[in-house]
Structure 1
Amino acid sequence: MPRGYRRLSEADQDEIWARLRAGHAVKPTARALGLPTGTVRAYLVRCGGIRPAPRRRSPGRLSFAEREEISRGLAAGSSLRAIAAGLGRAPSTMSREVAAHGGPTGYRAAPAEDSAWARARRPQPCKLATHPQLRAIVGEKLTHRWSPQQIAGWLKTTYPQVPEMQVSHETIYRTLFIQSRGALRRELTTYLRTRRVIRRPAGTRLPDGRGGRPGILHISERPAEADDRAVPGHWEGDLVFGKRMSPVATLVERSTRFVMLVALPEGYKADLVAQALAAKITTLPAALTRTLTWDQGHEMAEHKRFTHQTGVQVYFCDPKSPWQRGSNENTNGLLRQYLPRTLDFRTLTQDNLDAIADELNGRPRQTLGFKTPSQAPAEVLR
């Protein structure tokens, strides 16, 4: 056993899961328990970030206390039938138990308990492990960067009368994260939006009021029709950055979740951003250009110029409140599958970005009833 190694006790495991639910990271959790960070991380990876269900003994099985009584009875020379009567068990149960663990002369309670507890590990195979056709479809859709929730929804609508061809998104996630299930390769996690190999608890950061800018239209002044998403033409925007702070502007329509990407090869100064966004958004029909919601970044300092060129009024979120542009934030997360932070976005042309947007707009979305964003604008305009 490695020097300094400490086996995780049940108390350690309970504390690890409690701290993770409270929002603590792995390193401070390990430090608080006096454990190596690698020990805690390896345990979480082995579990897939999902706490295993506690093992429970079936009421019909022999307990450790009963096995000790059997061992004492055999040592005292009692018959199996007499031991069974004292425990309220069937004589055949005593016979099988003793025969399986050394016989009348070699039976010992502790080894018998350990052996029985080890043999009781018979996990049921998951659905993806027993249905090759379903597993193949799920794996293929993952390679096309469909989320497990999109896959589950698509399967339900495609095979409504075939339960064997349906699987929940939770089963897909668990099969990816818990490799002991042996159905989906861990490499498929690279196609997930986050590329994580374990589940992590979600955390939130509350705004502290810093970073406000005067002289702008606040999101609370935005038309009510933009809030309920009933009328198209209300957009959310932001910048995503790659290697060496290379930027790309993202635009998402709130009603249809339609995505447009705008190249910024010269940088993200306010005048360049306003000019590039105006050139892109004026290619749309007037019915799809009403408002734009942005955060309070300095790249939109020329918002009045943008509004003058396009007629699209810009509204600004509260500081540190990304959820006020929820559709855009979600889309930016999806785009990281195509635009990782390690890529220099200046190497991409507008044609490259349009191709990425087309692929993303061709993926079904749960919020659209598993229609694609490419289908939604045409239906809205009709």
Structure 2
Amino acid sequence: MGHGDYERLTPEATDQVWLRLRAGQAAKPTARELGLCTGTVRAYLLRCGGIRPEPRRRAPGRLSLAEREEISRGLAAGQSIRMIAAALGRSPSTVSREVNANGGTRRYRAARADVAAWARATRPKPCKLADNPALRAIVEEKLQRRWSPQQIAGWLKINYPDSPEMQVSHESIYRTLYVQSRGALRKELTAYLRTGRVIRRPKGVRLPDGRGGRPNTLHISERPPEAEDRAVPGHWEGDLVFGKGMSPVATLVERSTRFLMLVALPDGNHKADVVADALAAAVTTLPTQLARSLTWDLGHEMAEHQRFTTATGIQVYFCDPKSPWQRGSNENTNGLLRQYLPRRVDFRTLTQADFDAIAQELNERPRQTLGFKTPSQALAEVLR
């Protein structure tokens, strides 16, 4: 079913959708709460670029439907234009133009005239970029150079200080990109934005959208002190590293020895249940003294952490949001790993044997933090 096949939202549903989106709720939970098809809500947001369309309103001073009905009745009764205008408190020229534009005195119908007037009702005025080709060319050129709308707006203000017609706000640039009915900037230019989004997100804090929930989690502050000071082996840090086409491999680094394990994920699948099972299969091969805890970030791939703990007996602890330094050993090792697994490589073309060979090579490189011993040597000493 294409976007054009989705049902139309009622005005009441539209109001509720925007109310929730502006409160920070994502589209999917919004649709669920309102009993709507998620595709319907998504298609609507794509059509309007994530920006609520300005409602069309009658311009002040325009004739209302009730006034048009009075005109129609007056004409049917044989009254003159001046008599009808006086009864309405309107100028005779206003009534005359209304009648002449809608069939004349014999064919004038109030309902039909009102529908025609609504169709001609004022729409949002054309944006500055649509009316100014020179300004539009500059904005497009800067976007293709991956300048942000804020940078473009600031640059224009500095370089054209005495030419208001050559200045435009960053919000106008965003709106013109996302709302294609404004007819100025091409939608494809959104690909040059840092986020690459095709719809505008409301400002403010985003509420949880229900994806990848992690019930019964333990914070990193609850991790045993022995893990913090690296005095006892068996405490691991984990993450996913991605290659071309979002192809992942799981990385596990032991905190005290910096020993690395790479875990292939079947067909590049990084759903939570697949990750939990793959990690469990890998760590159950470890000696008991090397299986004490695992620290992970807040990625959705670890939503099934309880499944992993049940299978292995290893408790999972979670870092603060956007705090990769709390898994410093893992982050540093992932940086080294990029020498072997650059982002241009599709990891789905590699086998577990390939990953094992890469991990072995890294584990046999001396590390300054280990006094230039290798992770393999440090692990061997621990096991002895």
TM-score after normalising by structure 2:
0.57
CA gap of 1:319–1:33, structure 2 versus 1, over 3 A, is closer
2:218 partner SS: coil
- Is the contact between residue 58 and residue 122 of structure 2 (CA under 8 Å) also seen in structure 1? no
Q: Quick one: distance in 2 between partners of 1:198 and 1:189? A: 9
1:12 maps to what in 2? 13
Q: Quick one: distance in 2 between partners of 1:204 and 1:13? A: 19
Please report how far the alpha carbon of residue 169 of structure 1 lies from its aligned counterpart in structure 2 after TM superposition: 0.8
Q: Quick one: distance in 1 between partners of 2:137 and 2:9? A: 37
1:66 maps to what in 2? 67
- Is the contact between residue 26 and residue 206 of structure 2 (CA under 8 Å) also seen in structure 1? no
After superposition, where does 1:111-190 map in structure 2 within 5 Å? 111-190=112-191
1:345 maps to what in 2? 343
Q: Indicate the percent of aligned positions where both proteins have the same amino acid.
A: 62
Q: Quick one: distance in 1 between partners of 2:320 and 2:15? A: 33
Please report how far the alpha carbon of residue 160 of structure 1 lies from its aligned counterpart in structure 2 after TM superposition: 2.7
CA gap of 1:297–1:43, structure 2 versus 1, over 3 A, is closer
2:218 maps to what in 1? 210
Give a deviation string over 1:129-158, Cα, whole Å, max 9, x none.
Answer: 122222122112212222111221222223
- Is the contact between residue 186 and residue 197 of structure 1 (CA under 8 Å) also seen in structure 2? yes
Please report how far the alpha carbon of residue 99 of structure 1 lies from its aligned counterpart in structure 2 after TM superposition: 0.7
- Is the contact between residue 19 and residue 29 of structure 1 (CA under 8 Å) also seen in structure 2? yes
Q: Quick one: distance in 2 between partners of 1:80 and 1:273? A: 96
Please report how far the alpha carbon of residue 185 of structure 1 lies from its aligned counterpart in structure 2 after TM superposition: 0.6
CA gap of 1:4–1:165, structure 2 versus 1, over 3 A, is closer
After superposition, where does 1:323-338 map in structure 2 within 5 Å? none
Structure whose CA Rg is larger: 2
Please report how far the alpha carbon of residue 58 of structure 1 lies from its aligned counterpart in structure 2 after TM superposition: 2.1
2:193 maps to what in 1? 192
Unaligned stretches of 5+ residues in structure 2: 230-238, 260-294, 298-316, 326-340, 347-384
2:126 partner SS: coil
CA gap of 1:141–1:119, structure 2 versus 1, over 3 A, is same
CA gap of 1:57–1:149, structure 2 versus 1, over 3 A, is same
Give a deviation string over 1:42-75, Cα, whole Å, max 9, x none.
Answer: 2211211111222222221111111111111112
- Is the contact between residue 246 and residue 346 of structure 1 (CA under 8 Å) also seen in structure 2? no
Q: Quick one: distance in 1 between partners of 2:228 and 2:158? A: 43
- Is the contact between residue 125 and residue 181 of structure 1 (CA under 8 Å) also seen in structure 2? yes
- Is the contact between residue 31 and residue 38 of structure 2 (CA under 8 Å) also seen in structure 1? yes
Give a deviation string over 1:70-109, Cα, whole Å, max 9, x none.
Answer: 1111122222111100110011111110111111121111
CA gap of 1:149–1:21, structure 2 versus 1, over 3 A, is same
2:147 partner SS: coil
2:41 maps to what in 1? 40
Please report how far the alpha carbon of residue 32 of structure 1 lies from its aligned counterpart in structure 2 after TM superposition: 4.1
TM-score after normalising by structure 1:
0.57
Unaligned stretches of 5+ residues in structure 1: 219-237, 248-266, 276-295, 299-317, 327-342, 349-382
Please report how far the alpha carbon of residue 39 of structure 1 lies from its aligned counterpart in structure 2 after TM superposition: 2.8
CA gap of 1:32–1:75, structure 2 versus 1, over 3 A, is farther
1:196 partner SS: coil
Q: Quick one: distance in 1 between partners of 2:128 and 2:323? A: 39
2:70 partner SS: helix
Q: Quick one: distance in 2 between partners of 1:204 and 1:6? A: 27
* One-letter amino acid matched to 1:75: A
CA gap of 1:111–1:240, structure 2 versus 1, over 3 A, is farther
2:253 maps to what in 1? 269
- The answer to whether structure 1 residue 245 and structure 2 residue 248 are counterparts is yes
Please report how far the alpha carbon of residue 344 of structure 1 lies from its aligned counterpart in structure 2 after TM superposition: 6.0
Once superposed, what is the RMSD of the aligned Cα atoms? Answer: 3.8
Please report how far the alpha carbon of residue 211 of structure 1 lies from its aligned counterpart in structure 2 after TM superposition: 3.1
